[in-house]
Structure 1
């Protein structure tokens, strides 16, 4: 499991998000959570890939469902890394049903 660090994205100008992406770890990754943070997922494989972001919180005693993003073959996806995904270590826990040909990055919008 790798810890993704957030790459700052300027609010004015261009950012090469694909160049900042790294190979998804087969055992999963972690990413920072908070305002202005998001996860970028690129699927270079021949089939779809599902990313699960674990939640540990509850609302009135009921578990909050994990976040799930399915990215089609050759496509890209984004997920806001809000506080609902904050785990016991303060980071979001990410798992992939298949990490082959998948790259990921955490980004933070400049404020």
Structure 2
């Protein structure tokens, strides 16, 4: 199945309402339109364990694939992650979650 899209909210000087979170989908994972100025707000809604967000990095170094970047989100905590340069992460940022307890919000600055 295709990755689940996370809507991107553009931050403006006029202000925007907080967007609705996207529930983590560990079966299909996620994709976010990336202009190089995207920040993810990742919230762990669980109260028992840390969860892991994985960001797919594009390209190779010396012919070897670059390892994905992982971010641990502590139990009942949130993390802002980004920005993601398009030359490393692409115009479509691929985001994997290890559990549906992770909630995602994508913001463009």
Q: What TM-score, normalized by structure 2, do the two folds share?
A: 0.79
Q: In structure 1, what is the Cα distance between the partners aligned to 2:36 and 2:92?
A: 13
Provide structure 1 residue ranges, at least 5 long, that are not aligned to the other structure: none
Contact 1:7–1:20, Cα closer than 8 Å, also in 2 = no
Contact 1:51–1:68, Cα closer than 8 Å, also in 2 = yes
Contact 2:24–2:99, Cα closer than 8 Å, also in 1 = no
Say whether residues 1:36 and 2:40 are aligned partners: no
Q: 1:52 to 1:108 in 2, by over 3 A?
A: same
Q: What TM-score, normalized by structure 1, do the two folds share?
A: 0.78
Give the alignment's Cα RMSD to 1 decimal.
Answer: 2.0
Q: In structure 2, what is the Cα distance between the partners aligned to 1:55 and 1:36?
A: 16
Q: In structure 1, what is the Cα distance between the partners aligned to 2:20 and 2:77?
A: 16
What residue in structure 1 maps to residue 93 of structure 2? 92
Residue 95 of structure 1 deviates from its aligned partner by: 1.2
What residue in structure 1 maps to residue 25 of structure 2? 25
Q: How many residues align?
A: 103
